[in-house]
Structure formats: C-alpha cells, structure tokens
Amino acid sequence: MKLLVSTVSAALLALPVFSKTLPITLDIVNAQGAPDGFSRSMVTANGTYPGPLITATKGDTLVVTINNKLDDDTMRRSTSLDFDGIFVNTPNSFDEGSSFVTTCPVAPDASYTYTIPLVDGQAGTFWYHSQLSVQYVDGLRGALIVYDPEDPLKHLYDVDDENTIWQVGDWWHNTTLPLLAGYVATGIVPVSDSGTFNGVGRYNGGPDVPFHVVNVVQGTRYRFRIINTSARNVFTISIDSHNMTIIETDGTPTQPMTVNSIDMLAGQRHSIVVEANQPVANYWINAPYVGGDPTRNLNQNATLSRAILRYKGAPAEDPSAPMSLGPAGAALNALVEANLRPLVASPAPEADINITLNLVVTAGKAQWNVNNVSYLAPEVPTLVKILEGANSADDFNVTENTFVLPANKIVQVIFPPSIDDEAHPFHLHGNNFWLIKSNSSEEINTQNPIAGVGSTGTIMRFSTANPGPWFFHCHIFWHFQAGLATVMASGLEETRKEVNPTKAWDALCPAYDALPADLQ
C-alpha cells in the first residue's frame, strides 16, 4: 500500500498558520492490504498503511480522537496510541498513551480523545503507533511532523512537505497473535518477511510491486524526514551518487553533518538534506535491513528494500544500476552517532542519581530481564496507583520494574555492553534526555551531547522535573513484550498535585477490565 496523504493531513495543511488546536479523527479499523504483494488483514488508522500523515506547527495542540472499530480476532482488538518523541509535561500527561503505565487501552466499539499540547517549542520529525503489546507490527503506525516556521536551518533546503517523508518499516505476513504465540513457544523472535518504504516492499518469490518513487527536480535541495517505524529491524539508508546532510536527529536540530550512509535503529528519526545535483536519471534509494537470522524466513531479501529517486525528465523505469546494499569500503562515509552535535549546545548537568540497567535474555525463552526483572504490565496502571497514594517502590509489583525518583533531580542511566547481537534502542516516554556516551565511541561528552536513544553501551541523563510515570523500554517491541522495560516514576507527590484526569480517562480501565479476554 503506497503512502496516502489522507483527508486528515490535507485538512491540517489547509488550516491557517495561527491555528492552535488541531482536531484529528482516526478510525482504527481492520483493513485488507498487501504492502509487499502478500494480502492480509491489518490494523490501520483510516484504512491505510502507513497511517494518515499528521502535521502541525510548533506551539499547536493536537486533539486526536480514535474510534476503535477493530473486529479481527487474529490480532488485539483493544488499542492505545503513543505519540513517539513528543514531550508530555502538562497537567494532561495522563493522555500519553502508554498501556498500563499512564492509561488503560481503548476497548472495541469505544472512542477516546488524546489532548497533546506541543510544548517547549518542540518541532521536528515524530511518529505515532499502537502502544498495546506488539499491535503496531500489524500496521498501526504513521508519521507526525511538527513544522517550525522559524527553523534556523531552513536556508539549507528548498522543499519540505508531505512528499519528502520517508517511512521505512519491517513487515510480517502473519498476524501478531500467532507470531507472538510462536515466540513464546520457542524464544525465537519472529523474523520479518520484508521491509517497506513508504508502505511498499517486495519479498523473495513475491510479485514485483512497483517501488516507491521520490520525485525531484534537478538543482533543488530537499529535506527528507526519515522514520524507522520498525518493531525490530535496523535499516541502512543511502542514495546512489548522492550525499546526505543530517540536520535533525530524533526531534533535535543538529549541526549539519554530511555522510553517505545512515544506520537507523527501530524508532529513530533523522532529517537529511539532499541536493538533486546529479544528471537527470533514476537512482536507487537503498534501505537494506538486518534483524534476526534471515534463514529463519526465506521470504526475506533485504536487498529488495528500496525506493527510486527520480529526476524530472527521467523515464518512468527502474534505475540501470544494480541493486546494492549501499556504499562500502573506501567509498563509505557512514554516520558515526558520537560525532553528531546539537545545533544549540545543551550541556548535561551533573548527575544526582546513578542507575545501571543490565539487559539479559533468559536462554530458550521469550523473556528479557532488566536488572534480573522481566517487566510485566500490571492490572492497575502505574499512574492510577500513584494517584491513589503509592509513595515508594514497595507499592508496586516487583515485575513492574518501577524506579521511584525524587522530583527535580538529574538521573544518569548506564547501559553496559550487551552480549547479544542487537542494540536494544531504549526510548523514554514524555521526556528529552542527554546521550553523553554513544555506543559508537568511548567518548564521554557532557558539553554538547545529542538527544538520541539509549542502547547497550550508552550512557544517558535525564531530568525528573517533569512529574509522572514514564515508560522506558526497548523499541524492539518483541523484546519489550518479553519484559525489556522499566518505568521511571518521577516526583510522585508532584504527580498527584499536577495530574488532573478526565472522566473519559477514568472510564477506560473499568471498560477494559470488563472485556472478555478475546476482546482485550
């Protein structure tokens, strides 16, 4: 299914620039689709994969109503949305859709409205996806772009619109309930059938689905916003005969850095500037991926994960160059994450609290542990417990892996290197943080660190000035589902003072708890 600019984004683009409240409606429905040529039922927003593009301007408020119309019993039928990378530090922080941390899922045939103010001048490249179990593997994921009319890097590009958004993702032919049952039975994480680029892909032996085409005009500079919407796979992005200048990483403007290859972990986002300065022709955009042993799924052929950069005036045909995995050897100028710097330096304050998170898998089982605890979602969400008076770690189940932190402190989190072959991108909900050590370097940089993702071999710091329970989990969602998660509960008393739930939020848990298991 090709990327569709739905009526949602079209309506948003038509709003006047002074608009502050953006009403958005997403019908969460099962729809038949064939992103890579294999037809299956999916979980979608408004019937498309990826879901409708949501756009906003810095300072706006998103009012997102979801209508849960799911009815396919091979997948979860309740749902919940996470607005990935968006800060949530207002009295409406309960609208951050972390299932069983800040909220309960939305039941079938029910609706819920999330109110998300875009605070602190936040702008950049984000996305939304289901935060219930591994449901977004079934297709519920889409781009969320917050534009900055005063972007300090705007002089570097000419075009930045709905046609310059690249969403790469992994894709499975089977639905998640049987996939998850197989994972639990074997301890082997499912291997994707294919990769998609803006909603289309190919697999071994499958039909020649037309590659997505990115149209450019010679002499024009484009800001391409790349989002890895995967539940597991690491994608490597490059463009034949073209360089890429990175100007944003995970929502933070960066000092421009020119490379020709970028590795992107699950959930990561980058903005790049590409100048269409080559002869008029068709060029491959390479997006190969890794994620598990490909011999476990013979449909997989990462070389088929790609798109076409087509200059105006070039014939409507595939590039004549061979399909490669991108530049290699002496030609390779790959991104080294440790070399990225924010456009405006934000020194990391000294740490008040130190936490080491050891990530270990239980051999032969679908179980991951953080400091010897495998996270298990509680029946009563963490935020509900806090609002009802929880004051210490003893008030939470051990399996909730909840770190109770005082307000207005700086926390340093150390991830020792892992013995397995995956990077485990850790994502902290509702907050920004300082990545003072990347896994690509031994350097400790506290003067001008970027705000990347935590992962094995990294060190990060964050502030607890934003009260609330914040999910901190691996963005390989199979690992997250198997226990690779914690909750950072900042300022419990401050949370009780500042969070003011609505009646609609209060009604979510009773409605969900009353459902039979097959509807949850």
* Domain boundaries along the sequence of the chain: 7-150, 166-335, 353-513
For 205-221, letters b (16+ CB in 10 Å) and e give ebeebebbebebeeeeb
**Phi, psi at 82, each rounded to 5°:** -115, 135
CA distance 13 to 17: 9
Contact (CB, 8 A) for 26 and 8: yes
The pLDDT tens digits for 398-415 are 999 999 999 999 999 999
Contact (CB, 8 A) for 387 and 204: no
CA distance 89 to 119: 8
Q: Within a 13 Å sphere around the CA of 459, how many CA atoms are in the beta-carbon half?
A: 19
pLDDT of residue 97: 84
CATH of domain 166-335: 2.60.40.420
Counting every residue, how long is the chain? Answer: 520
CATH class of 353-513: mainly beta
The dihedral region occupied by 100, where left means phi > 0, alpha psi between -120 and 50, and beta the remainder, is left
CATH of domain 7-150: 2.60.40.420
Stretch 144-173: mean pLDDT, rounded? 97
> Which of 296-300, 418-422, 483-487 is the least confident region?
418-422
Residue 512 has pLDDT above 80, yes or no: yes
The pLDDT tens digits for 209-242 are 999 999 999 999 999 999 999 999 999 999 999 9
Structure tokens at 180: 């998850």
Q: Scanning the structure block, which residue is given the tokens 């609208």?
A: 95
CA distance 340 to 324: 27
Q: Scanning the structure block, which residue is given the tokens 């986002």?
A: 269
Q: Alpha carbon 71 to chain centroid distance?
A: 25
Contact (CB, 8 A) for 519 and 501: no
pLDDT of residue 7: 33
pTM of the model: 0.95
**E-assigned strand segments in 177-266:** 194-197, 200-201, 213-216, 221-228, 234-239, 244-249, 252-259, 262-264
- CA distances (Å), 409 to each of 96, 292, 356, 406, 464, in order? 22, 38, 16, 7, 5
Stretch 439-461: mean pLDDT, rounded? 89
